[in-house]
Amino acid sequence: MQQFKRRLPFWVVVLVVMTLAIGASVGTTALLIRHDTVEAGRKSTQQQILRVAKSTARLATVKRVITQSNQGSTENLQAYVKRLNRHEQTDFIVVLNRRTIRLSHPNSDEVGKPFSSSKDPQPALQGHTHYSQKAGVLGPEYRVFYPVRNDRGTVIGVVCVGITQRNLDDQLRRQTKPILVGGIIGLIVGAFLALGLSLYLRYLLLGMTPREIAEKTTRQALIDDSLPEGIIAINQRGQILAANQAAERLFRTSLPTGMTLSPYLQALLFTPSAGTTSGGEVDYQEKQLLVTINQLTVRHRHIGQVALIRDMSEIAGLVDKLSGTEHYISSLRAQTHEFMNQLQVINGLLELEEYPRALSFIQQITQTYHQEVGHVSDHIKWPAMVGLILGKSKEAKEQRVTLLVDEASAVPQVTMTNDVEILVLRIVSNLLDNALSACQSVADGTVTLTLQTTADAQRLTIVVTDNGSGIAPEVRQQMFQQGYSTKGSHRGYGMGLITAAVRTLSGTLTVQDCDPHGTKMTVMVNLTAGGTQDEDTHH
C-alpha cells in the first residue's frame, strides 16, 4: 500500500481525495433529501387516503347501503364506488358492513366476500381510525380504515381506502429522480473542480509533493548552514526570505525569516554599488566583505535578491599563513643552496691546506646562521611564525632595513585553533609591514620584533619597535578607520585588519612614540579567545 501511494503523483491523490469528499457530501445530502421526500410523501398519502375515507363515509348512499346490508340485503356499492374511486385517484375504496363483508372492491369477484384480514377492520368497527400496511388482494398496500356512523353515531361499517405499494414506489421514483440527477451533476461538477484544484496545486508546488518539498527544504537548510559564506535573500519589500548561520555569525545578529532587513544592511549589501554578479567589496566593522548579488526569478517573475557574502579578512589570513610557510620553505631552499656553496669553499680551503682560513670561515658561517636563523628557530617553536619572520627579514634586506628579533623573545610550542593562528600571523605581518614602510625614509632603519608568551602559554605579547618617521598626531586620530591611508587610494586596510583581529582575540593594542623618533606598538592577545570585545588603544 505504501509503495502504491508513492507511485501516485500528488495531484492525483488530491483529485481522488477531493472527489471522494465531494461524492460523500453530495451522497449524504441526497440521502437526507430523499428521506425527507419519502417522509413527506408518506404524510401526503396518509392525508389523501384519510380525506377520501372521511368523505366516502359521510355519503348518504354509502350509509344506506351499509344499513340495508346489515339487515340482509344483497345490494352493493360497486358501480357507485368505482366512479368515486376514479375521481379521487386512489387505487381502491372498499366498503365493509359490520360483518366485514365487502360491498365494493376493484375486483368485482371479491364483492360479497369477507375482508381478507379480519383483524385490520376491528379498530375501525370500534370507532377508531386505523392505518395498515399489508399484502392484500392487489398486492402490498398502504391503507386506512375509517368507521362509518349513522345519524345516531353508531358505527355501522368501515371504509377502507388505499394505494398499492407499486404506485407508491412510482411516486417515490418520480419525486427522487430530480434529486438523483442533481446529485450526479453535483458530483461531476465537483470532480472537475477537484481536478482544477489539483492541477493548480501542482503548478504552485512546481510538480513536487509536500514530502519532497519538506525534504528539499530541510536538505537545503543544512547545506546553506554548512557553507562558510553568508547567504541572505530578501524579497522586493526587504523582508528576509532566507539567511544561513554564517550570515548571522558575520553580522552578529539574528536574521529570522519574515523579518525586515535593516536599512543599513540593505544599503550595504543590495545597492548596485555594493556588488554585482561579478562581485564587489564593501567594508563592515573593519572587515572586508566580498558581496555577490543575484536576482531571484520564479517563472519569469522577479521576487527578490540573494547576496553571497565572503569574509575577505579570513582569506587574507589564509594568505598570510601560506605566505609565512612559503617564506619558510624559500628560506630553507636558499640556505641549502648557500650551504652547498659554503661547503665547496671549505673543501677548497682544506685542499689548499689553508686551515686557519677554513676555521675562520666556519666560525663566520656559524655566527651568521645564529644571528639570522638559529636564534629565531631556537627561541620560537612556531614554524609558521618562523617562516613569516624569515620572509619579512628577506623583504627588509631588499628595502635596506634591518629586522631584528629581540633576544628576550620566547615562544614555546603552543596549541591553538587555526582561526587564532591566522589572526596572530595577520597582526604580526601587518605590524612589520607598517614598521618597514616607516623606516624606508630614514638611514639605518631598524625594526625590532619581540614575541613572548605567559607562563601558561595562554596569552601572547607582540612588540614591534621601529626608528622610522613616526606617526603624526592628526594621523593617529584616523589611522584605525577602515580605508584611511597616507599612501594613496586602495590602501589603509592594515590597521583595520589589526584592530579587528585584536578585538576578536580579546586583546589590547597600545601605540607609543620612541625617542628620538619612531613608534612602538604593543599588542597583547589571548591565544584561547573565542569571544570579542573592544580593544584598548592608547596614543
Tens digit of each residue's pLDDT (9 = 90 or more) over 288-326: 788 888 888 877 788 888 888 887 766 766 666 666 566
CATH code, domain carrying 61: 3.30.450.20
Q: Quick one: cell of 15?
A: 483529485
pLDDT confidence of residue 164: 76
Nearest partner of 527 among 510, 502, 497, 509, judged by Cα: 502
Q: Which residues pair with 235 in a beta bridge?
A: 304
CATH code, domain carrying 477: 3.30.565.10
Residue position matching grid coordinates 617562516: 387
- Which of 292, 311, 330 terminates a domain? The answer is 311
* pLDDT tier for residue 280 given thresholds of 50, 70 and 90: confident
Tens digit of each residue's pLDDT (9 = 90 or more) over 189-201: 878 887 888 778 7
Q: Quick one: cell of 230?
A: 553568508
Alpha-carbon torsion, ordered 495, 500, 501, 502, to 10 deg = 90
Tens digit of each residue's pLDDT (9 = 90 or more) over 44-54: 777 888 888 88
Residue 462 pLDDT > 90: yes
Q: Is residue 114 part of a domain?
A: yes
What is the DSSP code (8-state) at residue 456? T
Q: Estimate the crossing angle of helix 165-204 against helix 10-57, to 10 degrees.
A: 160
CA distance 14 to 411: 70
Q: Is residue 397 part of a domain?
A: yes
483 φψ region: left (φ > 0), alpha (ψ -120 to 50), beta (else): left
Highest mean pLDDT among 77-91, 251-265, 355-369: 251-265
pLDDT, average across residues 103-125? 81
For residue 446, the SS3 value is strand
- CA of 41: how far to CAs of 46, 131, 218, in Å? 9, 15, 61
* Lowest-pLDDT range of 63-72, 187-196, 278-287: 278-287
Q: Which residues pair with 402 in a beta bridge?
A: 446
Residues 281 and 336 in one domain: no
Residues 384 and 295 in one domain: no
Nearest partner of 163 among 224, 94, 228, judged by Cα: 94
pLDDT, average across residues 443-455? 90
pLDDT confidence of residue 482: 55
Residue 537 pLDDT > 90: no
499 φψ region: left (φ > 0), alpha (ψ -120 to 50), beta (else): alpha
What is the DSSP code (8-state) at residue 102? B
> Backbone phi, then psi, for 96, in 5-degree steps?
-120, 145
Q: Is residue 177 part of a domain?
A: no
pLDDT confidence of residue 1: 44
Residues 272 and 320 in one domain: no
Count how many domains the chain has: 3
Residue 175 pLDDT > 50: yes
pLDDT, average across residues 382-405? 84
Which residues, including other chains, have CB under 8 Å from residue 538's CB and lie 6 or more apart? 510, 511, 512
What is the chain's alpha carbon radius of gyration, rounded to the nearest angstrom? 55
Residues 389 and 323 in one domain: yes
* Lowest-pLDDT range of 77-81, 290-294, 440-444, 525-529: 77-81
Q: Is residue 62 part of a domain?
A: yes
Nearest partner of 148 among 135, 136, 137, 161, judged by Cα: 161
Which H or E run contains 22?
Answer: helix 10-57
CA distance 529 to 108: 118
Q: Is the dihedral of CA 129, 131, 136, 141 positive or negative?
A: positive
CA distance 454 to 461: 8
Residue 539 pLDDT > 50: no
- CA of 69: how far to CAs of 38, 55, 372, in Å? 39, 20, 152
Q: Is residue 453 part of a domain?
A: yes
pLDDT confidence of residue 74: 62
Residues 323 and 449 in one domain: yes
- Which of 171, 198, 215 terminates a domain? The answer is 171
Residues 515 and 368 in one domain: yes
CA distance 103 to 115: 10
**Strand extents, DSSP E, 441-516:** 446-453, 459-466, 508-513
Nearest partner of 504 among 286, 254, 315, judged by Cα: 286
Concatenated DSSP letters for 375-398? Answer: HHHHHB--HHHHHHHHHHHHHHHH
Which residues, including other chains, have CB under 8 Å from residue 56's CB and lie 6 or more apart? 62, 81, 84, 93, 95, 146, 159, 161
> Backbone phi, then psi, for 97, in 5-degree steps?
-90, -170
Query: Is residue 474 classed exposed, middle or buried when 0-12, 13-18 and 19+ CB atoms within 10 A define those classes?
Result: exposed
Domain span including residue 371: 315-538
Q: Is residue 64 part of a domain?
A: yes
CA distance 220 to 129: 81
Q: Are 106 and 112 in contact (CB under 8 A)?
A: no
Q: Is residue 40 part of a domain?
A: yes
Residues 307 and 320 in one domain: no
Which H or E run contains 340?
Answer: helix 312-351
Concatenated DSSP letters for 27-88? Answer: HHHHHHHHHHHHHHHHHHHHHHHHHHHHHHHT-HHHHHHHHHHHTT-----HHHHHHHHHHH
Tens digit of each residue's pLDDT (9 = 90 or more) over 145-155: 999 888 888 88
Residues 287 and 420 in one domain: no
- Which of 311, 338, 360 terminates a domain? The answer is 311
pLDDT confidence of residue 488: 46
Nearest partner of 423 among 522, 527, 322, 328, judged by Cα: 527
Residues 258 and 361 in one domain: no
Please tell me whether the overall predicted TM-score, pTM, comes out greater than 0.75 for this model.
Answer: no
Nearest partner of 523 among 391, 429, 437, judged by Cα: 429
Residues 243 and 346 in one domain: no
For residue 23, the SS3 value is helix
Which residues, including other chains, have CB under 8 Å from residue 404's CB and lie 6 or more apart? 446, 447, 448, 449
Residues 61 and 91 in one domain: yes
Q: Is residue 220 part of a domain?
A: no
Residue 530 pLDDT > 60: no
What is the DSSP code (8-state) at residue 490? T
Residue 281 pLDDT > 90: no
Residue 276 pLDDT > 70: no
More confident residue, 188 or 39: 188
Residues 233 and 156 in one domain: no
